[in-house]
Amino acid sequence: MTSMVAPQTGGAALDRRARTYQVRTYGCQMNVHDSERLSGLLEAAGYQRADEGADADVVVFNTCAVRENADNKLYGNLSHLAPRKHAEPDMQIAVGGCLAQKDRETVLRKAPWVDVVFGTHNIGSLPALLDRARHNRVAQVEIAEALQEFPSALPASRESSYAAWVSISVGCNNTCTFCIVPALRGKEVDRRPGDVLAEVRSLVDQGVLEITLLGQNVNAYGVSFADRDQPRDRGAFATLLRACGSIDGLERVRFTSPHPAEFTDDVIEAMAETPNVCPTLHMPLQSGSDRILRAMRRSYRAERYLGIIERVRAAIPHAAITTDLIVGFPGETEEDFQATLDVAAAARFATAFTFQYSKRPGTPAADLDGQIPKAVVSERYQRLIELQERISLEENAAQIGGTVELLVATGEGRKDASTARMSGRARDGRLVHFAPGGTEQIRPGDIVVTTVTGAAPHHLIADATLIEHRRTRAGDAHAAGRKPRTGVGLGMPGLGAPEARPEAVGCTR
C-alpha cells in the first residue's frame, strides 16, 4: 500500500492512504484492453487498485452499447451504488466507453449521482476529470468527437503476466447496418508498425509469451497510412504478422478480428509460414444468407466465405476456426435462416459466438421493415445452438488421443478446485482442463504438454500424465505478482496527486 504524508502539524506527520479504484468492464476485447489503460492511468495518478470484494473510493464503468440490454445493465448497477454515494459523498462514480459516447446527455439525467462521464476518444482525461469533479463538487461530462491520442500511448496496467492485447488500430470504416461501433469509435486509425512492434518487444521483455493483435478489422490494417502520394499497402497486415515472428521470446501470436471481404491469401501464407502465429482464426460470418448479408452491408457472400475457410484449412490443416452469427436480422425468412445453418454445417466451426439480433437506435437496421418477433428469433436461435453444440463436440472429440501444448491460465475453470485440475489454452485456442500431477508446482504462465483424454462442446479434458512441464519467465512473473506495464503517458500537466484520505479505522461497510 502506498502511504502519503500530509503537511506536518505540530511536528507530527499524519499517515494517509491513497484513494482506491475499481474498473467494471462490459463488452468486447477492445473494452477489456481500454480498461487496462484506465487502470494504468489511475495508478499513474496515484490511485491504488481496490482489494477484491472491497468498496473502492472510485468506481469506473467501462460500458458497451452493442446489445439491447446494455442500458438496463448499466443503470441497474448505478442504482445499486446510489445509497453508498449518498452515505459517502467523497466516493466517485465514472461512466465511460461506448454507451457513454452514445448517451452522453442521458447518463446524468437517469443517474444524477454520477461524477464523471467520458467517451471512447478521451479515456486519457479520466484522472483530470475526477480531480475536477472532486474540486468543483459538480459532475464533469467530456465527450470528444474524434480520437485525441492513440490509446496505446496511455499507461496500461495489464491484467495478465503471460498474455497481452496489443492494439494495431481503432475505429472501423465499414458500414454494417446492425453495428453501432463505427459511430462510437470513429473511422479507422492505424498505428505505425514500429510502434506496434516496440510495444510487443516491451511486453516480451517483461515476460509475456502470447500477444493478440487487436483491431475492429485487422486485415484492413494500414488503410489510414495511405494518402494521395502513398497508395495503400494491402499487404501491411501480413507483413506485421511476419515481423512478429522475428521477436525472440514471443511464443504465440493471435489476432482478432478480420473481415471476410478483405481477407487475402498473403495473410494465410503468413499464418502458415510464421511459426509463432497460432493455428486459429476468428472469422465473423454473421449470416449464411446472401440476401441477408446484402441487407447487412457485408460485402462478401457465403461462397466467398467458405472459400476462405477452405484455403485456410488447406494451408493449416489443424486450424480451429471460430465465428460470430446473428439470428433474426430484420427480414430474415426461414429460408435465410436455413442458409445460415447450411454454412455453419459446411464450415464446421470449432465454436461460434451466437447472438439474437438486437435493435440498436442509431443503426440503419433499427429502421428496417420486417423486424422478427421475439418468439421466432428465440426458436431459431435454439436450433442454431443445438447444431453448433453438436459440431463443437464432434470437433473436440476428434482431438482425443492427441497431444496439446498448453499455456497455463488462471481462473478459466469453474470446477478446477473440485476436480484438482488446472486450465490452459492450446495453441489453437481451445480451453483444456488438465490434471497437473507430480509434485512440481505449475504456475499460470508455464507451458505444459499433455494428452487429450475427453471432450465437451466448450472444452477438452486432459487427465493423462504430463509429457512436459516448462517453467517460464511468465510463470515467474505471475508467482511474484508482477504484471507488465506499457505506455508513455500523454505528457500533459496534471492537477496533482488525488487528495489522500485518512486511513480508515474499523469497519467501512
- Could you tell me if 203 and 487 are in contact, meaning their C-beta atoms sit under 8 angstroms apart? no
Q: How far apart are CA 201 and CA 490, in angstroms?
A: 21
Beta strand segments in 260-373, E: 280-282, 320-327, 351-356
Query: How confident is the model over 454-481, as pLDDT tens digits?
Result: 999 999 999 999 999 999 999 999 999 9
Residue 286 DSSP label? B
Confidence of residue 117 (pLDDT cuts 50, 70, 90): very high
Give yes or no for residue 11 having a pLDDT over 80: no
Confidence of residue 18 (pLDDT cuts 50, 70, 90): confident
Q: Do the strands 20-25 and 48-49 form a parallel or antiparallel pair, or are they unpaired?
A: parallel
Architecture of the domain made up of 402-484: Beta Barrel (2.40)
Give yes or no for residue 102 having a pLDDT over 90: no
Q: Which fold has domain 20-142?
A: Rossmann fold (3.40.50)
Confidence of residue 493 (pLDDT cuts 50, 70, 90): very low
Residues of the chain with CATH 2.40.50: 402-484
Give yes or no for residue 168 having a pLDDT over 50: yes
Residue 277 DSSP label? B
Q: How far apart are CA 126 and CA 365, in angstroms?
A: 33
Q: What is the mean pLDDT of residues 216-228?
A: 82
The dihedral built from the CA positions of residue 498, 499, 500 and 505, taken in this order, carries a sign that is negative
Rg (CA), the chain: 24
Q: How far apart are CA 30 and CA 352, in angstroms?
A: 19
Q: pTM to 2 decimals? A: 0.84
Give yes or no for residue 487 having a pLDDT over 80: no
Q: How many degrees, rounded to 5, is the angle at CA 136 between CA 134 and CA 137? A: 65
244 belongs to an annotated ligand binding site: no
DSSP state string for 17-34: EPPEEEEEE-SSHHHHHH
pLDDT at 210: 98
Confidence of residue 82 (pLDDT cuts 50, 70, 90): very high
Give the number of residues written for the chain: 509
Residues of the chain with CATH 3.80.30.20: 151-398
- Encode burial over 91-113: b for 16+ CB neighbours within 10 A, e otherwise: bbbbbbbbbbbbbbeebbeebeb
278 belongs to an annotated ligand binding site: no
Residues of the chain with CATH 3.40.50.12160: 20-142
Q: Do the strands 403-409 and 15-17 form a parallel or antiparallel pair, or are they unpaired?
A: unpaired
The residue that leads in pLDDT, 233 or 220, is 220
Query: How confident is the model over 414-460, as pLDDT tens digits?
Result: 667 777 899 999 999 999 999 998 768 999 999 999 999 999 999 99
Q: Which three cell numbers stand for residue 203?
A: 511486453
Domain 151-398 has what CATH class?
Answer: alpha beta
Q: How far apart are CA 251 and CA 162, in angstroms?
A: 10
pLDDT at 411: 74
507 belongs to an annotated ligand binding site: no
* Rounded percentage of the chain residues whose pLDDT exceeds 70: 90
